[in-house]
Amino acid sequence: MTLHPLPAFDDNYIWLLHEGARALVVDPGEPEVVLNWLVQHNVALDTILITHHHADHTGGVAALRQATGARVIGPAFESMPEPLDRVGGGESVTALGLRFEVIDVPGHTAGHIAFFAPDAPGGPLLFCGDTLFSAGCGRLFEGTAAQMHESLTRLAALPGGTRVCCAHEYTLSNIKFAQAVEPDNAALADYAARCMALRAGNLPTLPSSIALERQINPFLRTDEASVAQAARTQNPALADDPVAVLATLREWKNGFR
């Protein structure tokens, strides 16, 4: 079983998991990228997983369903390209012989879900859409800081070896912000050097891992004194409350250049 990040648009990844003559894809915003790969490798599309409703994640679903007959699985409470099987947190689905646990992760959108395969060959797999990015998190378009904090806490509790398959190549810009928050974080400095080398070679920085994100991602480190102190530079009256710290970090990141 092999994992491929297929580049789409400017910075999206459509994740493709492939075994034998079958594959699944996650959040296919562009159908052509997927169809070209399938033809090139003589593979049939079995399943489409969708994490949330934004067009850069769903725009290719209808064309792929029509071309391949693939089963579509997506969030229970978001507007989706019908027909599909709708799922929510606490449920599980099986695709390519793998069991995927569905995790509710509202914040970026109100009904965002993630798919977690604890028994995937090569280590656990997490398809987290736009909730968790390497060294960052998604914007709060529809949810609250409290929801995002709870969602990220839920993801951070997954096994450290979990491969984190985010939907965008935002890592370098996120690292730049994370270093503004924690300039003395040695693990972050090492990670920055590795990621810059990867991008210089036009290689993806992803997947990351949950263990790494716990070390370098300020949005998973809101209970750290250094992160709270950095947030306080933006809001001197900020209380030592992880949700308030996350809200301040997210507002800071929104305007960070």
Instruction: Please report, as a single letter, which amino acid is at residue 112.
Output: H
Exactly one of 53, 108, 112, 149 is catalytic; name it: 108
Catalytic residue among 54, 104, 112, 149: 54
- Give 178: exposed, middle or buried? Use CB within 10 Å, 0-12, 13-18, 19+: buried
Q: Among 50, 209, 217, which residue's Cα sits nearest to residue 124? A: 209
190 is catalytic: no
Backbone Cα Rg of the chain: 18
* Alpha-carbon torsion (175, 181, 183, 185), positive or negative: negative
Cis omega (within 30 of 0) on the bond before 7? no
Say which DSSP state 220 is in.
G
Structure tokens at 44: 């049939």
Catalytic residue of the set 46, 112, 130, 149: 130
SS3 111: coil
Q: Quick check: is 53 catalytic?
A: no
Q: In whole angstroms, give the CA distance from residue 150 to residue 69.
A: 36
Q: Specify whether the CB–CB gap between 62 and 41 falls below 8 A.
A: no
Can 168 be counted among the known catalytic residues?
A: yes
Nearest residue to 16 (alpha-carbon basis) of 39, 40, 49, 42: 49
18 is annotated as an active-site residue? no
Instruction: Spot the catalytic one: 52, 53, 112, 149.
Output: 52
Cα–Cα distance measured from residue 227 to residue 246, given in angstroms and rounded to the nearest whole number: 9
Catalytic annotation on 149? no
C-alpha 218, offset from chain centre: 16
Given the residues 27, 46, 56, 104, the one annotated as active site: 56
Q: Which residues are identified as catalytic?
A: 52, 54, 56-57, 108, 130, 168
